[in-house]
């Protein structure tokens, strides 16, 4: 994950700290507690050479002046070149021959340490859309607690190394997550420990206490009480399996630094290498900065700003050739994964489980087959009559039609996800009929549409099954999407059915925020069983995006402009981010793309650039699963790699 996102990595081990590196004094940055008396006036809780910056960009400018990486006498000539000559930086640059020392208050958010590291570290020159630009190129970073008495660091950080034989050690992710609904002071902030992205959490640190004279001695309040023992036991098992294994610590920005620091020390005490992820978005830092400064100031050093007229890395127009290549690779993976009977098997594709391409549930075959066919249609292959795509589409459609019962339902009614599967499969069949006019699809398309209308609750909407009496916005949105396709294919759709469903979505939409709820106004999306903590609903606006698309598509002339603007603002505040801290929601990204493409304007362009960057960075690049997308996210365990690859390939096709 870190390699794919080009994140910053630090290897942490307990050691003493020398006064300087080479012949140059280190750069010392202190991150202060919110109650520190030196925080009078305005500025971030950061102290650098007696001054407090008002932004991370300004701090970076100060460090660049001191480190002076453009000056040859200030460079580590033994280190590899990190920046070749360019119009912007005419001299070849090596890392600065200086050390960065970060001393952080135990109660401060880990985000501040991450931000300082990111501002000073040797950044990969691919540019994330929300990272600090123009690094001062510091190559040696050491972090530690800001002890109340000695103010000396207690841990050392350096870059990650491979084994002596050139092979890579086993790397296990340790996630420190925060899912608290309400704000908590640092000492009672619940931190969930999860060892591995696809596993259940080990437990929660519900708070900590500091030793009265030694800030480094933190005592944790574990839940369950045996969590500490269980964690050490897991460390021992990993060390036994591979003594050179590395534990990659990915912390939520709001984790108190003493918790992060103590976990790093605990890993080191178990004789394993701890790798600290130092990436944090500028959006997060600017959000945390609001309590310290009243406004954001521009960078003080022009070196931190791209030249006039040039977008920052990751912020330019979407790379259309790269997007098309990614779509083609995704479709190629899907074609390789098709079963002989025509379906796409959620739990039985080729090389299942390799390289993180995990299987889903076998009951999802109808739904994922429909998603694949919709991806092929969105990519422009829906009307083809010859070639490999045409053959795959025809065999997939025939399989879906064979799953249709006498009443028009597609799939097994006993499955709890039947309504979703039918809505997706119906949409695929209806769109194929609309594209081709094939007579063998006409009856199936009509029956699928009729089933949707018959399954609707009287004067209301849909949920699970036929007229179940209750409703929810997500099933309703998928059913409406199928009816939109039916209208386009000139199939019979009653106007009242659309009106009742849209009225229901309006009733679930908060008139002030624009957020659409699940079964109550303003309620957040649901999550697959066991994934509520791993992928918090607060990181998604999927329901709002789906409902907005329905309104913009079915009644654009009467849609409330204020609600639309409010919804767009929600999307802007929750832009796609593919990381291991619970922000991946492919359903949200899919519906958000459909919605903002209809809406257009600046919100669409920002979303398009951001999501394009994220998807291109995280598509599997090589091996048996080249072109696929790993099933990370709230519903990845249900649909598996076929679901994730189909949905993200479809989304990429919409981003072109």
pLDDT tens profile 308-359: 333 433 344 457 899 999 999 999 999 999 999 999 999 988 888 787 888 8
Looking at the structure, do residues 275 and 340 belong to the same domain, yes or no? Answer: no
Q: Are the C-beta atoms of 111 and 125 separated by less than 8 Å?
A: no
- Residue 643 structure tokens: 């679901």
User: In terms of domains, do 435 and 473 share one?
Assistant: yes
Contacts of 601 by beta carbon, 8 Å cutoff, 6+ apart? none
Cα-based distances in Å from 364 to 307, 541, 635: 50, 24, 11
Quote helix, strand, coil % in the chain, to nearest 5: 40, 15, 45
Phi, psi dihedrals of residue 148, rounded to the nearest 5°? -65, -25
Question: Is residue 105 scored above 60 in pLDDT?
Answer: yes
Summarize pLDDT for 420-434 with one digit per residue, the tens.
Answer: 999 999 999 999 999
Looking at the fold, whether 449 and 596 belong to one and the same domain comes out as yes
Residue 557 shares a structural domain with residue 650? yes
Over 90: is that where the pLDDT of 74 sits? no
Residue 365 CA to residue 315 CA, distance in Å, equals 38
Please give the full DSSP string across 219-259, using - where no structure is assigned.
EEEEESTTHHHHHHHHHHHHHHH-TT-EEEEEE-TTSBHHH
What is the domain count for the chain? 2
The answer to whether residue 313 sits within a structural domain is no
- Residue 305, domain member (yes or no): no
Q: Quote the Cα angle for 341-343-349, to 5°.
A: 95
When pLDDT is cut at 50, 70 and 90, the band that residue 468 belongs to is very high
Residue 608 lies in a domain: yes
pLDDT tens-digit map of 281-315: 676 777 788 778 754 443 333 333 333 333 433 34
In which element (H, E) is residue 103 found?
strand 96-104
Three-state DSSP class for residue 636: helix
The CATH number assigned to the domain holding 598 equals 1.50.10.20
Residue 28: strand, helix, or coil:
strand
Q: Answer yes or no: do 577 and 615 share one domain.
A: yes
pLDDT of residue 601: 87
Q: Are residues 118 and 193 in the same domain?
A: yes
Evaluate whether residue 573 is within a structural domain. Answer: yes
Cα separation, 238 vs 250, whole angstroms: 18
Mean pLDDT across 242-263: 86
User: Based on the domain organization, do 544 and 629 belong to the same domain?
Assistant: yes
Least trusted range by pLDDT, from 202-216, 230-244, 296-310, 519-533:
296-310
Give the model's pLDDT for residue 650: 98
Residue 202 CA to residue 531 CA, distance in Å, equals 13
- What would the pLDDT profile of 494-510 be if each residue is shown by its tens digit? 999 999 999 999 999 98
- In terms of average pLDDT, the best of 41-55, 208-222, 640-654 is 640-654
What residue spans of 308-463 are helical by DSSP H? 320-336, 365-376, 388-402, 418-436, 439-455
218 and 77 both lie in a single domain: yes
- 122 vs 201, residue with greater confidence: 201
> Do both 167 and 230 map to the same domain?
yes
Distance CA 194, CA 192 (A): 6
**Higher pLDDT pick, 137 / 313:** 137
Q: Between 89 and 629, where is the model more confident?
A: 629
Closest by CA position to 427, among listed 483, 475, 380, 375: 483
Residue 306 lies in a domain: no
Within-domain flag for 2: no
Answer whether residue 302 is part of any domain: no
Tokens 């420190």 correspond to what residue?
Answer: 176
Range of lowest pLDDT (221-225, 382-386, 396-400): 382-386
Give pLDDT tens digits for 11-35.
Answer: 333 223 333 334 466 788 899 887 7
Residues 290, 328, single domain; the answer is no
Of the segments 46-60, 120-134, 277-291, 321-335, which one has the largest average pLDDT value?
321-335
In a domain, 241, yes or no: yes
Q: State which of 76-90, 157-171, 354-368, 638-652 shows the largest mean pLDDT.
A: 638-652
pLDDT at residue 114 tops 60: yes
Whether residues 119 and 154 share a domain: the answer is: yes
Span 549-580, pLDDT tens digits: 999 999 887 777 778 888 888 998 889 988 75
Residues 201 and 124 in one domain: yes
* Structural domain that includes position 80: 9-297
Phi and psi at residue 192, to the nearest 5°: -90, 130
Whether the predicted model's global pTM rises above the 0.85 cut: no
Pick from 264, 297, 330: which residue ends a domain? 297
């Amino acid at each position: 994950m870190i390699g794919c996102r080009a994140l910053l990595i630090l290897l942490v081990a307990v050691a003493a700290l020398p006064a300087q590196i080479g012949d140059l004094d280190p750069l010392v940055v202190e991150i202060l507690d919110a109650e520190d008396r030196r925080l009078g006036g305005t500025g971030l809780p950061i102290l650098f050479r007696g001054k407090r910056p008002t932004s991370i960009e300004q701090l970076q400018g100060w460090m660049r002046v001191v480190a002076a990486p453009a000056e040859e006498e200030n460079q580590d000539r033994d280190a590899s070149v990190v920046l070749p000559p360019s119009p912007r930086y005419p001299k070849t640059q090596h890392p600065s021959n200086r050390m960065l020392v970060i001393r952080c208050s135990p109660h401060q958010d880990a985000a501040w340490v991450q931000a300082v590291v990111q501002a000073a570290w040797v950044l990969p020159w691919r540019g994330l859309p929300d990272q600090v630009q123009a690094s001062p190129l510091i190559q040696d970073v050491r972090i530690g607690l800001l002890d109340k008495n000695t103010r000396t660091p207690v841990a050392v950080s350096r870059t990650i190394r491979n084994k002596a034989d050139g092979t890579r050690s086993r790397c296990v992710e340790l996630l420190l997550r925060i899912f608290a609904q309400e704000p908590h002071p640092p000492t009672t902030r619940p931190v969930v420990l999860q060892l591995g992205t696809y596993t259940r959490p080990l437990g929660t640190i519900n708070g900590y206490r500091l030793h009265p004279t030694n800030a480094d001695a933190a005592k944790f309040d574990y839940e369950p009480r045996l969590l500490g023992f269980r964690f050490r036991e897991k460390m021992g098992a990993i060390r036994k399996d591979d003594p050179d294994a590395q534990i990659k610590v990915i912390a939520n920005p709001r984790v108190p630094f003493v918790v992060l620091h103590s976990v790093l020390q605990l890993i080191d005490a178990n004789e394993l290498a701890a790798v600290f992820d130092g990436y944090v978005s500028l959006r997060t830092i600017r959000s945390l900065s609001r309590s310290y400064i009243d406004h954001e100031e521009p960078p003080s050093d022009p070196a931190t700003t791209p030249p006039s007229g040039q977008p920052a890395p990751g912020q330019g127009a979407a790379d259309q050739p790269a997007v098309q290549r990614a779509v083609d690779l995704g479709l190629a993976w899907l074609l390789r994964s098709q079963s002989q009977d025509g379906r796409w098997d959620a739990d039985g594709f080729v090389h299942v489980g390799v390289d993180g391409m995990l299987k889903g549930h076998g009951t999802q075959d109808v739904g994922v087959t429909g998603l694949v066919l919709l991806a092929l249609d969105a990519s422009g292959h829906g009307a083809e009559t010859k070639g490999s795509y045409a053959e795959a589409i025809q065999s997939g459609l025939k399989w879906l039609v064979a799953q249709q019962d006498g009443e028009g339902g597609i799939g097994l009614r006993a499955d709890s996800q039947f309504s979703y599967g039918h809505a997706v499969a119906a949409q695929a069949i209806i769109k194929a009929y609309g594209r081709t006019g094939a007579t063998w699809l006409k009856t199936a398309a009509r029956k699928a549409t009729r089933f949707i209308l018959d399954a609707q609750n009287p004067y209301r909407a849909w949920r699970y099954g036929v007229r179940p009496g209750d409703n929810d916005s997500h099933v309703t949105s998928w059913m409406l999407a199928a009816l939109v396709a039916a209208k386009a294919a000139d199939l019979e759709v009653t106007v009242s059915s659309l009106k009742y469903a849209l009225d229901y979505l309006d009733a679930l939409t908060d008139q002030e925020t624009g957020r659409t709820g699940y079964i109550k106004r303003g309620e957040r999306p649901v999550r697959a069983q066991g994934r509520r903590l791993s992928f918090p609903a607060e990181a998604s606006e999927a329901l709002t995006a789906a409902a907005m698309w329905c309104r913009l598509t079915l009644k654009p002339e009467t849609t409330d402009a204020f609600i639309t603007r409010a919804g767009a603002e929600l999307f802007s505040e929750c832009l796609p981010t593919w990381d291991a801290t619970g922000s991946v929601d492919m359903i949200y990204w899919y519906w958000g793309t459909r919605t903002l493409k209809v809406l257009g304007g600046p919100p669409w362009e920002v979303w398009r650039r951001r999501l394009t960057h994220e998807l291109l960075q995280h598509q599997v690049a090589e091996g048996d699963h080249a072109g696929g997308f790993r099933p990370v996210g709230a519903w990845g365990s249900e649909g598996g790699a076929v679901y994730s690859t189909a949905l993200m390939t479809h989304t990429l096709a919409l981003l072109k």
